[in-house]
Structure 1
Amino acid sequence: MEDLDDLYENAPCGYLSLAADGVIIKANRTLAGWLGMQSFELLGRRFYDLLNVPGKIFYETHFAPLLRMQGYFNEVALDLVGPNGRKLPMLVNAAERRLSDGSVQFTRITLFQAADRRRYERELVDAKNAADRARRELEELNRTLEERIDAGIAERLQLEQGLLAEKEVARLREQFVAILGHDLRNPLASVAGGLNILSREPQSDKSKRVLTMMSQSTERMAGLIQDMLDLARCRAGQGIAIDPKPTDLRIVLEHVVQELQTAHPGRDIQRSLTIEDQVTCDGGRVAQLVSNLLGNALAHGAPDRPVKVVAAPGLNEVVITVANEGHPIPGHVKDHLFEPFFRATSSAEKQGLGLGLFISYEIARGHGGSLEVQSDENQTAFLFRMPV
């Protein structure tokens, strides 16, 4: 008689089960063996953490919304990364199990090794390219000798120009991401405008839910694009763009608090803003920094305890503190909080690429200031110190 436990653990494919918040709650030995790990080492981690950086971007912007909308996806090509850094090409199927009220109970994922398939596809493409090259070469041989000489000279010049342009290409690599993000903003704004128009029309309950989901995804994509633009500037050595001017910082911070309070009506946000004089800074960037910190505190702090925003003048500086109560941040996590693509927990409320604290840190640096974190059993506090 077939042993079902053995069939699960030693199946010819990988199995994962995820809780509603994305945490791995079950994994078979087959997948763990492919990754060079034990099954229990995968428990408590997230499927998102097993992906490489391009896979994380595609998962957040496409596959996760698709899974939420239709409850499944099939034959998605993703690359997993094991502890040794080795990339494992996979074909992934996923399906959600939902409760009667429509909430996600858990998600089942099956994974199949796709290295041979990827290699076969590349070989097909290479074969086609080789056939195309052979056809072009045959056509070229039928041309006049003068044309062939001209083509050879042009090719040689092109190669030489390519060698001379290598440094320029390297410089433009980071700019490409910025340009891509910039060009995506206009069509995304059109989509957001269209959704806004549709939301004013009579809709069924199902249509309203889909429109709400699409609007939330659009807002997330806009945030991801802005984060990509800021990241590209930092990687290009330009840092975060800062435009300092005299600013009524108290009004700026009041607006940020009101905006987050509207988005989280059930939460207690307490503020003490005692900055009376104008401060020379980039008000928009400071608002972005405080919004990131306040959103982070609301997502990770104790939901039944207040979040506090304090802004006060110090000795030749302004100090803005965002604090929440809850579990302290572990020491090994604090060491990486301000790194790009790092997310401390698998909270379903805090989605994105893990760039918020990194960009906030760069905004603080751009103002000649600092951003630090203090965390103990009483509270977790982020302190932004800006010289004036």
Structure 2
Amino acid sequence: MIENAPCGYISLLPDGRIGHVNRTFLGWSGHATGQMVGKRLSDFLTIAGRIYYETHIAPLLRKQAAFEEVAIDAVKADGQPLPLIANVAERRDRDGKPLSIRLALIKATDRRRYEQELLGARELAKAAEKAAEEKLQREQEASELREQFIAVLGHDLRNPLASISAGARLLDRTVQSEKERQIIAMMQTTVTRMAGLIDNVLDLARGRLRGGIGLDRDANQLLEPALGGVVDELRLASPGRVIETEFQLDRPVNCDPARLAQMLSNLVGNALMHGNSSKPVIVHANTREGRFELWVSNSGQPIPAVAMGRLFEPFFRGNAHASRQGLGLGLYISSQIAKAHGGRLTVSSTSEETRFTFEMPLA
């Protein structure tokens, strides 16, 4: 049973020489019995295995008389390494003197290959993770550079645009024909549109670079005049369209009035663009139960379900006609203004009504 056991078996004499080797180990190693018996076990170990045996296994064995599952490499007759897992026990007499050492050996070639493959896979995973982190860092640096470029470009565009606006106002004083008046009016409309686009781009850059849109809160300033002013401007800009207001603001709101006015302008402009031109746009604002609520509604075709989840993403413009599209930043910036106030901008859309609603705490 010992000779043909499924594990290798080696018995050492008290002086460390090999006393017996079973057939299983001889078959694994390719050595003959006469080549091994009488010699030291270390003679059949690799250099690393020999060092490990002399510095670790032998002292440990003297100390505790046994140990289990120790990895060690032997050398086969052809010089190739033979990975092994050893269980070792020392038999002693009543006085504690060693009588023999018995080694039960399991061939660990497949296990060692698996361990090496596992280590290799871990190294590959670490390398891939490091490459991904480096790529992410490069993308973040490139993104920050783009945002800085956008911010500088938007800022620098304001000066020539202001010059164009001032020139148009001067020319408007000396017009001599209706055709000239129409051209100047078109120039002024274009300047206003360009100024709005630049403001949106700058807000996008500020939000991305600084982690959100900055606010200048004022709890003492009345909010209704700011909201009413936005509605009046849009009524003048959209003759023939009806914008109804419902303001119930009986207490102050700790907010940035200019930013909320900007939000309202975006929402109402969006309603005028996409809503039914024969139906009114409704603007409602109230303060109650410790919260401020502002909503804008319009009639018309409902927003497609596929677009609902992306409305507040930057540069998303849905299926608007090209001539009516901007940069697709209005709703994104409005959502960022809401977030900066500690509130939330939501949307609901049915065949009867599309409504954008903003809510935030009063204080």
- Mark yes or no: TM-score above 0.5: yes
Matched, 1:376 2:314: no
Aligned equivalents of 1:327, 1:361: Cα separation in 2: 22
Matched, 1:192 2:192: no
> 1:334 offset after TM fit, Å?
1.0
> 1:196 offset after TM fit, Å?
1.0
Distance 1:189 1:326, change over 3 A: same
Matched, 1:205 2:173: no
Matched, 1:181 2:154: yes
How is 1:171-320 mapped onto 2 (pairs within 5 angstroms)? 171-246=144-219, 247-320=221-294
1:276 partner letter:
D
Q: What is the RMSD computed on CA atoms of the aligned residues?
A: 2.2
Q: State the 4+ residue runs in structure 1 displaced beyond 6 angstroms.
A: 166-170
1:195 partner letter:
A
Aligned length: 224
Aligned equivalents of 2:250, 2:239: Cα separation in 1: 28
1:355 pairs, out of 329, 338, 345, with: 329
Contact 1:296–1:350 under 8 Å retained in 2: no
* CA deviation vs aligned residue, 1:166-215 (integer Å, no higher than 9, x gap): 99887444222112211211221111011011112123333333323222
1:385 pairs, out of 356, 359, 363, with: 359
Mean Cα displacement is larger for which, 343-352 or 225-234? 343-352
Contact 1:317–1:385 under 8 Å retained in 2: yes
Contact 1:177–1:229 under 8 Å retained in 2: yes
> 1:344 offset after TM fit, Å?
2.1
Match of 2:68 in 1: none
Contact 1:270–1:307 under 8 Å retained in 2: yes
Match of 1:327 in 2: 301
> 1:352 offset after TM fit, Å?
1.4
Q: 1:386 is paired with a residue of what secondary structure? A: strand
1:201 partner letter:
T
Q: 1:327 is paired with a residue of what secondary structure? A: coil
Distance 1:232 1:306, change over 3 A: same
> 1:291 offset after TM fit, Å?
0.6
Aligned equivalents of 2:193, 2:261: Cα separation in 1: 18
How is 1:104-123 mapped onto 2 (pairs within 5 angstroms)? none
> 1:256 offset after TM fit, Å?
1.2
Q: 1:365 is paired with a residue of what secondary structure? A: helix
Match of 1:56 in 2: none
Contact 1:178–1:228 under 8 Å retained in 2: yes
Distance 1:342 1:202, change over 3 A: same
1:360 partner letter:
S
Aligned equivalents of 1:217, 1:280: Cα separation in 2: 34
> 1:237 offset after TM fit, Å?
4.0
Aligned equivalents of 1:249, 1:181: Cα separation in 2: 29
Q: 2:300 is paired with a residue of what secondary structure? A: coil
* CA deviation vs aligned residue, 1:61-100 (integer Å, no higher than 9, x gap): xxxxxxxxxxxxxxxxxxxxxxxxxxxxxxxxxxxxxxxx
1:242 partner letter:
L
Normalising by structure 2, we get a TM-score of 0.58
Normalising by structure 1, we get a TM-score of 0.55
The structure showing larger relative contact order (alpha-carbon pairs under 8 Å, at least 6 residues apart) is 1
